[in-house]
Each structure stands twice: as C-alpha cells, then as structure tokens.
Structure 1
C-alpha cells in the first residue's frame, strides 16, 4: 500500500511536470515572436527551391479548435494556424522582373495527430492576391523551371490538401520567343457551375458571334447544320457512354448531358500575341481537381485574337502533364488565312467563316482531330474532319494536316480569295491591302510561299454542287491538295461543267524563288446547250467544247505565272451558235466586241471553231485560230501578250457565196484585256473604194465588182479546219468526230509537258 501511494505520488509529479512543460511550451509558442524565425525559414526554403524566398511581413502562429469533423478527445487537441504576409519568390538573375511570385497573405491550419504518422494534413489554405510573373527569353530560358535538388530516397512525409481558397490573383506573361505579352486575372466563381450549363451558354454566345461575322442568314444556316450534325454526335456519345471501355465524363457531349465536372475559377485575359491584340475570358475547375490525373478537368475559354474568335468548352485529362483533350470548339474569323498567326497552320485566304465541331487530341503526341465539324465560309457550307499531327524528333520534320472536307453547296465566288481574284472591298474586309492595279485583270497578289514549308498537308475536298450564278451552273468540284516541303500540288482539280469535265493538274514548287509551276488542263464534252441554258438559240445546238493545255511558268502570283508561261493551248467548238448577246452572257469582252462589229445582234451558226495556240514566255501566238460559220470563214492571227495583258490580233473574214455590196474588211483587236478596242482595218476599205471609183469612171456597173465577194467554198468540218496549214512549220492537230483533240506528234515545246487527250 505504501508502495502504491509512492508510485501514485511519483506519477502525479511526472504528470504535473509534463503539464507544466506543455503549458510552458504553449505559452512560449503563443508568445514567441515568430518574426525572428523568418530569416531561417527564408534560408531553408531558398535552398530548397533554388530561388530567393522571403517573408517580408509578419509571421504569426495561433491555435484553433479542430474542425467539426473531429470527434471525441481529438477535439481537445488544438491545431496550429500559421499566418504570413508579404511573401516573395525571386527570379533568376537574367529575368527582367525581380519577383517570380508575390503573395499578400497566406494562412492555413495543420492537423496535429497525423504528424505522428508523417502526414501533413492541411484542411484549407487561403491565399490573398497572389501574383505570378512568367518570363521566357528568345534563347528559350524561362523562369518557371526550378532547379530543385534531387532526392536519393522518397520523402517519408506526405501532403494532403483538401481545399484552396483565394482572393483575386494575376498571372503575367512576357514571352519573347513567341512575341507574346498577356495579363490574366483570376478569381473564384463563388459557387460551382456545371459543365452542361456552361456548354449551353457558350453555344448561344458563339452563334451570336457567328452572326456578326458571316451574317444572320449564314449563321441561321449554320445553326441548322449544327442541329443536323448533333443527332449523329448524340448517338456517338450515347454509344460511348454505354461502352465500358469509354469514360463518359471525358466527352463534352456526355458531360453536358450529365452534371459532369464543375467550374470553380473564372479568368480573363488582355494582351498581345505577335503584335495582335488578345482579349477573352473563361472558366476552370478547382485547383485541387488538378491532383487527380484520372478525372477530367473542366476548361472553358472564349478568346478573340485579332479578328479571329476561338471558343472551347470541355475537359482536359491529367492537366499537369497535358494528356487528353476533349472539347467543343467554335471558330469565327474574317479569313482562315489569319489562323496561321494563332496556330501556325497554313490555310488559304477565304471569305468570313464560322465553324463548330468537336476537338479531341493527345497533347503529348501532338495529335488533334477537329472531327465532324460543320461551318459556313462566305455563302458556302463546309463539313468534315481535319487531323493535325505535330512534328516529332526523329520522325516528321514538319507538322502535317490531313482530312476530308465536303461542301454541299459551294458559291463559286467564295473561291476567288484563294487566288487573290476577289474585289478590293472583299480584301479590305479581311484587312488585306490589294495591290491589284485598276487596269489589270490577272491577279498580282503574291502567294505566301514562306508559309508553305511550315506544314505538310494531304486534304481532299469535294464540292457537291457549285453555283456561279443562275445562268451558268458548274455542277461539282473535287480536288486533292498535297503539300510537301513547300511544294503544293492539286492532283487533280476537277470540275463538272455542262455535262462534261474540266480537269487540271497543278504543281507549284514554293521551296524555291521564284516559284516554279506546271499546269495541265483537259476540257472534255462540255455541252454548248448546258453551258448557256437560258439562251434559246443554244438549246438546238448539238456541239461540244473540248480542249487541252500544258504550260510551265515561274512567278509568285497568277499574273507573274501567266507572264512567263510556255507551252501549248488547244480548243475545239463544234455545231454551235454565236451572237453578241451570247458573248455578253459568257463574259467574253473581246469576242463580244468582234462579233458585234461583224454580225451585229443576229445569231450566227457555227460549224466549227478551233484554236491551237503556242505560248512562249508569256506570249500566245496562233498556229490555228479559226471559225467556220454558215456565211463566212474567219481566220485570226497576231499575238496575245500575257505579260502586259495586251492584244494585237487581226481578224480576217472570208465570205461564202456571192455577196453584193460587201464592205467586209479585216478587223483589228488591240488594247488591253480589260479595255479591248476592235475596229475595221482602214487601208483595205480605202483600196476597195479607190478601185470602185476608177472602175466607175469606165463603167458605172463595173464599180460594183470590188464589193462582190466570191464564194470561199463549202463549210469546213473540224477535221478540215484543224488540218489547215497556215504555216509550213505547223504540225496538224487531229480531232475526232466529237471534236476531241489528239495529242500532238512533236515533242513538247519550251519544256512544257506533252498534252494528253
């Protein structure tokens, strides 16, 4: 018993001492001036991160009761609460800004008991006005890569952070490598917003933006296209949800149908990218959502870069390592060519456009699919899938764009910007300054060959119906665009025209200066009555247009290529009708003037028309250029200078049958392509008039003889016309009964490829 009392007394003394020590320690910790520890903390942290670290404000330690989740005796163990103000993290010496990050205030609590198991449990951390300044130099150095010491063994300590809250923060970027400057403002949303709600809001906002770019009519058509495509997308999403191998939350469509991940942070941005203004806003998931690499992280952005607007809503899996991306993507802009400054992808000049589709990608492999998208380009629709594959070390030297595109209704005028043939007003809307002289017809704007080597391409495009205007429909279009190391090929570029085909192969080598081009063209079985469906006199015509061309040229614009072209051009027209009104409908200004001079407004029956022109360094010279009609045979000679766009032609009509009082004389066609001038050669008229006067002095009836035209023979077939030999050196060109041209026997002239039938 005495021993027991002695033991209890000793235990009491020990307990009292322990309580006294704890009480003393508590008093010490509570009353200790923790600001005295700031230098030590700064030194230790600086050594750990390899950057200057400092707590320039107050450092305090307080105690609080545990959270309500704690029960029983654990509620009696207070948790320390650490508060620090004016925290700075320094930059490397080369950086322009002294601080990488600043923080006005940080405070958090630590659970005590888990520390015994080497677990650091922080229920919540609060940040006040955090600011981060990111910098990258031209040589690639950046301030967000820390030289952390390598640890040989894994740490025994584990961190668990349940919640992060912060007041307004900012992230500034200065990137000299990409010529970018931006400031991002960040704040919490107050309450989580489901991804489905954000998807709906963004869809409405993007449709409104589309209406401003392509017009309300085109935007309404786009909305209908999106609705039509959404059925297939919904079916695809439903199939993905039902598949056990898929993740429903990873699809924006599935996420929109369900509650999905929620947004917790809002952001806005202002700045410049490559001298182009940037502005926009968006939303992100909570900061702690970044910790779980298996759960999709919600992202949303609506950003305007210059005149291009990009909006996305969807998810990013494992954002810390930039893994899988799955978003709904909307694009609007005044020209697809302007996307080059944003994405580095070379696209042609286009009218204003708007698209909507799904973008999925593996960011580590740099493979992205803009799949099942639909859009409007000018007054045309555009649908399909495009795949972008980034360059790889030891693999592809350049990025690659591939895909299949379809337009169900393509306005021919929407193709004009691709070759710089649109109006100055259209170019001004795209922010382009037209270099086209008012007196020139051929486009002088140069191809942007400096961009061609930035990406390879393999894209197929089908225009199911092309409309030029109601009088001259072009039925369809197909082309296969291939670009490899700066060499652009269209193999083929094929139009369906008037019941026949107009096919060409275009090869432009932009890897050298000036650009070198090769062109082959084949027109087959173009029906005259379908070429001019609204011309009544043409509906009885049974003839066709057939032709071939093979040319080689150098130059960086369509006009420059025409000015240096060499090769041969052939065409045959059979069994048609000719009139001034028909030439007006076809837009042939020169022919219109000539026909009016010769025939006035009446219709003229064509037996055959044939042209075989040699191109030599931009000058077209006829081997055969003739037209056989019911009452005359017309022969054309002279030159067409594509370099200066000038005409110097002489048209010689030869009347069939005996015609009294004919004053028909050779015609001249001079001037430019845009302002042609046609008239009657004066000298033959003078000579005929002089002869009439002389004969009239002898016999009044003899004065009629100079104005009588003897018959030049019967009508010629195309075979006969093409086999005429106006020059000894001319090799005759054969034509079949249908008017198809056979390949010439001699080797190609001036290096041009042999023309195929």
Structure 2
C-alpha cells in the first residue's frame, strides 16, 4: 500500500460526509414536510396523551447563526421550522375550551449537534397569536399535566422568545377565579422597586374576568417569560386592577413562580366599603365608609397552606386614619384573622355603618339602599350573620381619640375584637369620656337565626361639667357621674335588640355643684331665671342624684329618680319605651324655699326619641292661672300674684341612704330573669355613705 492510500481514505471519507450532508440538506430543503405531518401528529399525541395536530403548512428552511453569537455556532447552519395552525388538546372535563394551547403560526430555529446529546436548543421561538386555556379543579387536578412517561432524557433550552396578540384564560375552581389576559412581549426594561433594585420586565398584559363572582379589569407588566425556566427566580410583577367595587395595585416580586414559594408585594387597596372585599379575599369585614390602604403584603408557603401578612399598612376610613399589621392564617375548621390596628383620630360617624347607625344620605352616597325610617332614631340596619362563620378573628384595636361630631370626644379606646364560631365579642371595649372611663363587654351570638345579645356597661368618674362642654353655665359645675347597665336582648339590629331588652340601668352623681340657672329653668321659676341672667349665675350645692330603671321587654320603668340640691328636690316617675321609642315621664320639682312669680308645676316628657315634647302639665298650670284670675277680680289685682308664690318647702332628701341604695344596685344588679326587688340597705352602709360624704 502506498503512502497516499491513508490520505485518499481520509479524503474520500470527508467527501462522502460532505456529500451526505449536502444530500441531507437538499432532502431537507426539497422534501415536502407536509407528508410528515401525520407521523408527527401521531407521535406527539401518543407521547403527551393529548391530541396534537399541525393543521397548516409545515416547512423547513436553513439559516446561518446570528452575528451576535460567538464561537463555532455562529457558522453552523441550522434549520428553521415553520408550522401553521398548531394546537394541543385539553382533557374532556375542562370547560375553558377544547384546546390547551394553540398558535396561528410557530417559527423556531434549533442547533443540530446538541441533538446528539439529547438537548433541544432553540435559538429562537416566535409565536403568532398564541392561545392558552388552563383550568384547575377544586381537588387540585389540572389540565396542563400531560401523560407521565417517566423521566425524560431530553432537555429543552430556549434562548429567545417573542410573541404578539397572545391570550390566556385561567379558571381555578378552588378559589373561584376566572381570569382572562391579553399578553404581548416587550423589550426588556428596568424599574426601581422600594429596595432600589432593578427589575426586568418582558411582557405587558391587560386583565379581565371575575374573582369570587366579582368583575376584574386591569393591566400591568411582568418579568420575561424565559426567566421562569430558572430555579429560584425572583420574578417582578407590577399590576393594577378594579376588583368589583374595589381598586387594587401591586408592585413587587414572586419567588420561584413555577412552584410559587413566596410573595412580596406593595399592595394598595381602595373602595366604597371594606365589606365589599369579602367576595375577593374571603375575609369577613364590616360595612364601612370609603377606605384606602397601602402596605406590604407578604405571602409565605407553609406546606400546602399560605400565611398572609398585611404588614405596616396605613390608610383612611372616611375621615379617620388607620394603621397596623394583620395576619391571615388558613386553618380548620375556620381561618384566623389576627393582629393589631390603631388610630390617632377615629370619627364615630365613620363607625356608623358597622353597627347600622348610618344616615340614609350616607348609604345612598355609598350606593347602598336607604332603609332607615324617618320616624326611627335607633338603627334598623340588619347585621348579616350569614358569613360570620367565614373566619375567626382576634384583633386588638387602640384609638387615641374618637370624635363625636356634635358632642364630647372619647379617647384612649381599647377594643379586643373576637369572632369564634359565629360569636362576636368585644371584651373589653373601653374608652375615656368626660374625664372618666367607660368599660363595656358586649357579646353577639349569631349561631341562631336571631342574634342573642348581651351588654354590660360601667361608667366611672365622668365629670359633670365635661358632659356639657358647649354649655357655658355648666363650666363652673363639679361632681362625678357613675353608672351601670346590664342588658340582654334578641334581634338582628340595634333597634330590635333594644326593643326586646331585659335588664337594669342605674346611675348616681356624687356630691358637687350645678348651675342654678339650669335648675331654675327646669322648674320654670321665671323671676329667678331672669334675675340670674341679668345679674349673673351662681352654683347650687348638689347633695345627690340617683336613678334606677328596670327594663322588661324593651320598656324601661323608673324605679327611682331623685335629684336633691340645697334649693330644690326633683322626682321623676314614668317609663321609656325602647320598642316604640317613646317617652312618658312625670317630673315633679319641689322648692326648698319661697319663689315669687313661679310657675313651678309638674312637667312632662313625652313624644318620641326623634321628636321629644317637654313642658308643664296643663292641668296644674291651669288651676294656678284660674285661681289668679279669680282673686284678681274678687279681691284685688295684687292678690293675683299669690298663686304664683311657692311657699311649700320640700324636706331634705336622705342622700346617704339613697346613695348607698343606688351604689348597691349598681354593684349588685338583679338578674333580668328574676327581676327581684331592690334589697334593703343596712345601717352600716348608710353610715359608710355619710362618712364618705363628710
């Protein structure tokens, strides 16, 4: 064999290979690939377990590598495959459509040599009008999991992806989400987040659909689709949406969105009422005025459940401010909402919708039906207990100041709000008022069709003058008010609960002073009233005041109501109907000294809560007027003044006994069921009260 023989062999081998490559290229270039479509369709369908089809033209062309590529790949020709009308089917049970994915046209180019190593390297993938329809059932099964053929030896890598006019529909029966999105790829851009870290966005989208039957519209942008293939991806998202009657916007990141292990978003919410968030979040919130909040939403996956935290949020509720942190924990049998909320200034008016105490005008402004009758003062708005079993709650609220629009402010509010098994309790609900404090414990049991309500209230050290901050004649007064109430009732509104109330109310005023002018007006002592208005007011010593009501089926009957001062004694009898919202009180003032030109006569307080009627009883007043006319005609005109002179002197009240009795009633109220008579006060208690007075 000559030396040239090996060279010839190598040369012929290379020539044959080149010829084969040339023949292969010619075959690929000239072969009608549409003939291969049945085989391709059948092979892919068998491999995936889904119907796959290339319904349009299938072509293969050759191209050179990109100029931006480096190394040998730049010079190696690669096939470019174009297929039209490509689709893969959905399972039979889906309702979102028969196709899992489809595209009007797909263009892809790939490297040939990596195929020898079971690698599919797509240098470019372009989709025209892609359509994707995904569905997940309540049991967790989904439409995108294909036939399990065991671990695959093939790896797929996509270098560049572009698409336009894409549409995605995602239906999740587990969370009642039906989302439609129109998506298009964009040139990557960057935007600073709250952490000043650059975020790359690769797609833009618009949203439509519904979530928990509430309509959804909006749009935004997100990270590049190709970044989803990386492990532990931090995927940026920026979006805004209108969810039912609420507006929301998010800006942040998703951790590893393929398995979604974490969420960190800056979340802003706004709407007409927080109650409208229930269809969207499943979190039961009360009716409120218009609200807006902004905070950090953190989602952390713990096993198969998500723990959500709305951290360091700030916002407004009507004209009130709110801030705090809330956490939502999925658990059985009900999820739990816990956390703390605080406010620097909270308007009582903004809490009106929560308890149904809202004007018709305010309801109409929020798009709610106006149902408060003009004749009713107590709220008739029904509490909706249907969703009280949606979650349990353990939330602490603190407020620095609660503003009552036309009255004294409340401060230092502390409320522990608990919801468990449809039982709502405020234990305690405490606040400062008029220099004193109010302590309450309220329970609303919604386990039955009609709410069973219980309330205990205690008032301590309320300053008399601070109860009337805008009444100048009371500013020199002093003394403190103490009160207690224990009531039970049934109903689904404040009005119906009070209409069926049973229990007791009691109050006392400790030793102090009150405005003489106010007392004179109460007794209609016209001459003295004019005198003090011209020459100045003065304070009258208040010896005691005690009141005690027994409430039965919404009727509060006066068991005792006495006011004793150095100049007069006032007794009140009658009742107040919480069911009919009416007054029927008889007020009997008695002087401790003579009064000239006095119309002192029994007074009445009648009418309704909305339209009370207070004035002198006509019978006794007419008798005095008739006697004056008779004396004027028979004796002399000066004698006409005699009936207008009060010369009866009321005896001093035994304030020690009254205060001791009232204190015992407040501290040991009788059961609404037994309604036992007030117990007799012992001599020791009377002596103790007298000693305290000294």
Deviation at 1:468, TM superposition (A): 2.5
CA distance in 1, matches of 2:417, 2:282: 18
Deviation at 1:325, TM superposition (A): 0.9
Deviation at 1:110, TM superposition (A): 1.3
Q: Which of 218, 235, 247 in structure 2 is aligned with 1:280?
A: 218
CA distance in 2, matches of 1:31, 1:303: 52
Is 1:187 the counterpart of 2:184 in the alignment?
yes
Q: Which of 275, 294, 312 in structure 2 is aligned with 1:372?
A: 312
Structure 1 residues 717, 492: closer, same or farther in 2, change over 3 A? farther
* Contact 1:100-1:143 at 8 Å conserved across structures: no
Is 1:258 the counterpart of 2:194 in the alignment?
no
CA distance in 2, matches of 1:129, 1:328: 32
* Contact 2:500-2:579 at 8 Å conserved across structures: yes
CA distance in 1, matches of 2:240, 2:71: 50
Deviation at 1:184, TM superposition (A): 1.1
Deviation at 1:20, TM superposition (A): 3.4
Deviation at 1:302, TM superposition (A): 0.8
Structure 1 residues 441, 581: closer, same or farther in 2, change over 3 A? farther
Matched position secondary structure for 1:561? helix
> Where is the helix percentage greater, Structure 1 or Structure 2?
1
Is 1:382 the counterpart of 2:329 in the alignment?
no
Question: Where in structure 2 are the equivalents of 1:134-283 lying within 5 Å?
Answer: 134-135=134-135, 144-151=143-150, 154-173=151-170, 181-190=178-187, 192-196=188-192, 199=193, 253-254=194-195, 257-259=196-198, 261-283=199-221
Q: Note the alpha carbon deviations across 1:706-735, whole angstroms, 9 max, x for none.
A: 666454445436434456xxxxxxxx4337
Matched position secondary structure for 1:41? helix
Structure 1 residues 752, 264: closer, same or farther in 2, change over 3 A? farther
Structure 1 counterpart of 2:128: 128
Structure 1 residues 361, 559: closer, same or farther in 2, change over 3 A? same
Structure 1 residues 160, 608: closer, same or farther in 2, change over 3 A? same
* Contact 2:524-2:600 at 8 Å conserved across structures: no
Structure 1 residues 317, 435: closer, same or farther in 2, change over 3 A? same
Matched position secondary structure for 1:321? coil
Structure 1 counterpart of 2:656: 719
Is 1:437 the counterpart of 2:373 in the alignment?
yes
CA distance in 1, matches of 2:524, 2:149: 90
Deviation at 1:258, TM superposition (A): 2.9
Is 1:484 the counterpart of 2:480 in the alignment?
no
Structure 2 counterpart of 1:743: 667
Q: How many residues align?
A: 665
Q: Note the alpha carbon deviations across 1:636-659, whole angstroms, 9 max, x for none.
A: 222211111122222222232344
Gaps of 5+ in 1: 200-252, 584-591, 724-731, 736-740
* Contact 1:89-1:101 at 8 Å conserved across structures: yes
Matched position secondary structure for 1:463? strand
Structure 1 residues 83, 528: closer, same or farther in 2, change over 3 A? same
CA distance in 1, matches of 2:529, 2:88: 88
Structure 1 residues 597, 308: closer, same or farther in 2, change over 3 A? farther
* Contact 1:335-1:350 at 8 Å conserved across structures: yes
Question: Where in structure 2 are the equivalents of 1:553-572 lying within 5 Å?
Answer: 553-572=489-508
CA distance in 1, matches of 2:486, 2:355: 20
Structure 1 counterpart of 2:454: 518
TM-score normalised to structure 1 length: 0.80
Higher mean displacement: 25-34 or 684-693 = 684-693
Matched position secondary structure for 2:667? coil
Deviation at 1:117, TM superposition (A): 1.7
Structure number with greater CO (CA < 8 Å, separation at least 6) is 1
CA distance in 2, matches of 1:156, 1:742: 83
CA RMSD of aligned residues (A): 3.3
Deviation at 1:386, TM superposition (A): 1.1
Question: Where in structure 2 are the equivalents of 1:97-136 lying within 5 Å?
Answer: 97-135=97-135
CA distance in 2, matches of 1:29, 1:293: 37
Gaps of 5+ in 2: 679-694
Structure 2 counterpart of 1:341: 279
Deviation at 1:521, TM superposition (A): 0.4
* Contact 2:29-2:61 at 8 Å conserved across structures: yes
CA distance in 2, matches of 1:292, 1:664: 92
Structure 1 residues 378, 692: closer, same or farther in 2, change over 3 A? closer
> Where is the strand percentage greater, Structure 1 or Structure 2?
2
* Contact 1:579-1:595 at 8 Å conserved across structures: no
Structure 1 residues 683, 74: closer, same or farther in 2, change over 3 A? closer
